[in-house]
């Protein structure tokens, strides 16, 4: 706890639980609990390991909350996501997250008084304001209503020429919904034009194919965006963005639309980014904006040929990486997630190994450690990234690198070099997002096999396991009405749910090293992801800091 300005990271000994056990912390990505039907891929898949854990209920298996207020999101209708989920798991407390902080800053108008807005507004007189980001109401990376408020606020404060570079979603929202979002935005921009603001959509593309890669998996994705947004070059040229999205959807879904630029009557791009302009990346979530932020901000940059590097005033909606201070200017201060469990544990002698494949690597490192890149103490930690497949949608390879992650974790456990071995197993989530039900079933089976590999290793060394998930996804693949029945679209087709869900997630503890009498408490019925950190600290033999959310376990006297 902080005392006289100094943080002491010393944890108290747990009165009943021993130190020195090897502990596997397994996070299944996108693995919620839902009624067993044909659209519940976890139920349909063979998942003997996860099924066997369930038999430990209620003492060693239970459900915890992973969405809404339990993870610091604005409302109970907000589904969970990896960022807020892993933040809560790692930090042991609930922080108001980016979505909420931006809401508050817009509502109070404070966003316009901050350094970031003042900085970009210096370009309003002579330059163009460019807004780049995900266009949907998914609330995971960005929200349309926040963009709308920012457009209004910026134009009222002097922005005379505005260009919006849209990234279509279909991943946190239904596929096909991009058309409606672009129409809504076009209406707003038309209203601004009536008021004398030269406001237009300048470019676009699907989020997974244009711009929003993460953890440096595939820089080509960012380059395609750069070419369209900055250089004004793209394979597809249209006069109108609604027409562009409708046309391009004939051959691709929203997530994967190819890049396009909007051109004028002379076939000239209407909104390349040039010297003197201002740029705001409107996503509040970090992982899929960091790469673009680097391309926009870094002078030394060799990930792709930027061709032309305009001298711009750039601000992020938030600062995306506190350690890298990236970007250096931002409109809203990010949550200050301090004193995470990872930091405490290295100070208390717990040696940690963390691993996932590229697309989830930052989840068990960067997000887990409070949006902080790098090690707390390289002598005590080792983070291993297994390269993800590039350039495919994961329904094509639904097993992903699950078994490789399992093997790395197993070897780390058996090596005796680590006290905590932490992994993220991505399949349920990454394949769930493709909306391919059959492939998601294969994905869930692979994830279960990886869990088995880890639990077997824990068995062998007399260790402890804790298995949980960050939010739901694969357990429900259709959109439903209020009574839970699947919804059909106007053609009578099932509406496939590519997004996360608001379902709770399982948590299980066990292993030969678990002291007798350890069981889930029954007096924390509303426990959520933020309660996991204190639980893990207990299993390592420590009491969590006072301000952490309470532990989920107790030790019964036998």
Ligand X SMILES: O=C(O)[C@H](O)COP(=O)(O)O
| Dist. CA 50–CA 467, nearest whole Å | 9
Binding to ligand X by residue 67, rule CB under 6 A? no
User: By C-alpha distance, which of 4, 47, 101, 11 is closest to 339?
Assistant: 11
Site string for Mn ion, 32-51 (x = CB under 5 A): --------------------
Q: Which is nearer to ligand X, 22 or 288 (CB)?
A: 288
Applying the rule CB under 6 A, the residues between 14 and 33 that interact with ligand X are 29-30
Applying the rule CB under 6 A, the residues between 281 and 300 that interact with ligand X are 288
The option from Mn ion, ligand X, none interacting with 161 (CB < 5 to 8 A, set by class) reads: none
Query: Which is the catalytic residue, given 3, 8, 82, 123?
Result: 82
Give the angle subtended at the CA of 362 by the CAs of 356 and 365, to the nearest 5°.
85
DSSP code string of 214-243: -TTS-HHHHHHHHIIIII---SEEES-HHH
Q: Which is nearer to Mn ion, 29 or 549 (CB)?
A: 29
- The answer to whether 171 is annotated as binding is yes
The option from Mn ion, ligand X, none interacting with 171 (CB < 5 to 8 A, set by class) reads: ligand X
Binding to ligand X by residue 329, rule CB under 6 A? no
Give the shortest CB-77-to-ligand X separation in angstroms.
16
Q: Of 49, 82, 136, 177, which lies in the binding site for Mn ion, with binding defined by CB under 5 A?
A: 82
| Dist. CA 67–CA 79, nearest whole Å | 5
Q: Which is nearer to ligand X, 62 or 471 (CB)?
A: 471
Binding to Mn ion by residue 29, rule CB under 5 A? yes
Give the shortest CB-270-to-ligand X separation in angstroms.
28
| Dist. CA 273–CA 367, nearest whole Å | 31
- The answer to whether 500 is annotated as binding is yes
- The answer to whether 471 is annotated as binding is yes
Binding to ligand X by residue 172, rule CB under 6 A? yes
Binding to ligand X by residue 82, rule CB under 6 A? yes
- The answer to whether 43 is annotated as binding is no
- The answer to whether 52 is annotated as binding is no
Binding to Mn ion by residue 218, rule CB under 5 A? no
3-state secondary structure 419-479: CEEEEEECHHHHHHCCCCHHHHHHHHHHHHHHHHHHHHHHHHHCCEEEEEECCECCCCCEC
Find the part of the chain contacting ligand X (CB under 6 A) among 78-86, 440-448, 502-510, 523-531.
78-86
Are 249 and 164 within 8 A, CB to CB? no
The helix/strand/coil state of 65 is strand
Q: Which is nearer to Mn ion, 470 or 549 (CB)?
A: 470
- The answer to whether 286 is annotated as binding is yes
Q: Which residue has the tokens 């989530």?
A: 429
The option from ligand X, Mn ion, none interacting with 140 (CB < 5 to 8 A, set by class) reads: ligand X
Q: Environment class of residue 104 by beta-carbon count within 10 Å: exposed (0-12), middle (13-18) or buried (19+)?
A: middle
- The answer to whether 287 is annotated as binding is yes
DSSP code string of 275-302: TT-EEEE----STTTHHHHHHHH-SS--
Are 510 and 529 within 8 A, CB to CB? no
Give the shortest CB-334-to-Mn ion separation in angstroms.
19
Q: Which residues of 520-557 are buried (b: 16+ CB within 10 A; e: fewer)?
A: bbeebeebbbbbbbbbbbbbbbbbbbeebbebbbeeee
The option from ligand X, Mn ion, none interacting with 224 (CB < 5 to 8 A, set by class) reads: none
Binding to ligand X by residue 168, rule CB under 6 A? no
- The answer to whether 480 is annotated as binding is no
Q: Of 40, 47, 81, 97, which lies in the binding site for ligand X, with binding defined by CB under 6 A?
A: 81
Binding to Mn ion by residue 169, rule CB under 5 A? no
Binding residues for ligand X, rule CB under 6 A, total: 12
Q: Which is nearer to Mn ion, 175 or 470 (CB)?
A: 470
- The answer to whether 540 is annotated as binding is no
Are 218 and 391 within 8 A, CB to CB? yes
Q: Which residue is nearest to Mn ion (CB)?
A: 82
Binding to Mn ion by residue 385, rule CB under 5 A? no
Phi, psi of 284 (to 5 degrees): -90, -25
Neighbouring residues of 133: CB distance < 8 A, sequence distance ≥ 6: 141, 142, 147, 165, 166, 167, 281, 282, 283, 289, 317
CA max distance for the chain: 82
Identify whether 82 is a catalytic site residue: yes
Q: Which is nearer to ligand X, 189 or 469 (CB)?
A: 469
Q: Give the HSE-up count for residue 176: Cα atoms under 13 Å, Cβ half-sphere.
A: 8
User: By C-alpha distance, which of 507, 526, 475 is closest to 69?
Assistant: 526
> Kind and range of the H or E element at 162?
strand 161-168
CA Rg value for the chain: 24
Binding to ligand X by residue 140, rule CB under 6 A? yes
Binding to Mn ion by residue 429, rule CB under 5 A? yes
Q: Which residue has the tokens 């809504």?
A: 184
Q: Where do contacts with Mn ion occur on this chain (CB under 5 A)?
A: 29, 82, 429, 470
Question: Would you please indicate which residues are annotated as catalytic (active-site) residues?
Answer: 82
Binding-site residue set for substrate? 141, 171-172, 207, 214, 285-288, 360
Q: Where do contacts with ligand X occur on this chain (CB under 6 A)?
A: 29-30, 81-83, 140-141, 171-172, 288, 429, 433
Binding-site residue set for Mn(2+)? 29, 82, 429, 433, 470-471, 500
């Amino acid at each position: 706890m902080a005392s006289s300005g100094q943080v002491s990271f010393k944890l108290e000994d747990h009165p009943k639980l021993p130190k020195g056990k090897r502990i596997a912390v397994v996070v299944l990505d996108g693995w919620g609990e839902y009624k067993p039907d044909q659209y519940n891929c976890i139920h349909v898949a063979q998942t003997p390991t996860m099924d066997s854990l369930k038999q430990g209920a209620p003492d060693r298996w239970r459900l915890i909350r992973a969405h809404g207020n339990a993870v610091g999101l604005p409302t109970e209708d907000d589904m969970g996501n990896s960022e807020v989920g892993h933040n809560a798991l790692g930090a042991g407390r609930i922080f108001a997250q980016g979505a909420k902080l931006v809401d508050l800053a817009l509502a109070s108008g404070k966003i316009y008084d901050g350094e970031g807005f003042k900085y970009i507004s210096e370009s309003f007189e002579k330059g163009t304001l460019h807004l780049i980001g995900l266009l949907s109401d998914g609330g995971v990376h960005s929200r349309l209503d926040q963009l709308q408020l920012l457009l209004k606020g910026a134009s009222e404060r002097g922005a005379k020429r505005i260009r919006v570079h849209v990234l279509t979603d279909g991943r946190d929202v239904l596929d096909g919904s991009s058309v409606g979002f672009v129409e809504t935005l076009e209406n707003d921009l038309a209203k601004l034009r009536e008021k004398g603001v030269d406001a237009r959509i300048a470019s676009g593309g699907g989020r997974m194919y244009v711009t929003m890669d993460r953890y440096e998996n595939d820089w080509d994705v960012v380059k395609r965006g750069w070419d369209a947004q900055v250089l004004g070059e793209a394979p597809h040229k249209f006069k109108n963005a609604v027409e562009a999205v409708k046309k391009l959807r004939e051959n691709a879904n929203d997530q994967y639309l190819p890049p396009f630029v909007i051109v004028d009557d002379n076939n000239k791009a209407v909104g390349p980014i040039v010297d003197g302009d201002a740029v705001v990346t409107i996503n509040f979530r970090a992982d899929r904006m960091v790469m673009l932020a680097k391309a926009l901000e870094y002078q030394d940059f060799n990930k792709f040929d930027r061709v032309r590097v305009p001298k711009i005033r750039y601000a992020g909606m938030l600062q995306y990486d506190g350690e890298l201070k990236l970007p250096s200017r931002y409109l809203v201060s990010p949550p200050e997630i301090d004193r995470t469990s990872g930091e405490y544990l290295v100070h208390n002698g717990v040696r940690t190994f963390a691993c996932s494949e590229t697309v989830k690597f930052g989840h068990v490192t960067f997000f887990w450690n409070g949006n902080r890149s790098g090690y707390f103490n390289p002598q005590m930690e080792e983070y291993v990234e297994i390269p993800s497949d590039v350039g495919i949608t994961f329904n094509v390879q639904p097993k992903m690198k699950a078994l490789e992650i399992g093997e790395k974790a197993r070897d780390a456990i058996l090596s005796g070099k680590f006290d905590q071995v932490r992994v993220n197993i991505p399949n349920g989530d990454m394949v769930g997002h493709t909306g391919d039900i059959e492939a998601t079933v294969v994905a869930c089976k692979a994830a279960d096999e990886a869990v088995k590999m880890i639990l077997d290793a824990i068995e062998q060394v007399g260790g402890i396991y804790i298995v949980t998930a960050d939010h739901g996804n694969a357990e429900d693949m259709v959109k439903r009405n209020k009574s839970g029945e699947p919804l059909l679209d106007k053609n009578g087709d099932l509406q496939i749910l590519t997004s996360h869900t608001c379902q709770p997630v399982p948590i299980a503890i066990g292993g030969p090293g678990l002291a007798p009498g350890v069981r889930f408490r029954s007096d924390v019925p509303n426990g959520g992801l933020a309660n996991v950190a204190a639980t893990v600290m207990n299993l390592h033999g420590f009491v969590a800091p006072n301000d952490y959310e309470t532990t989920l376990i107790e030790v019964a006297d036998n």
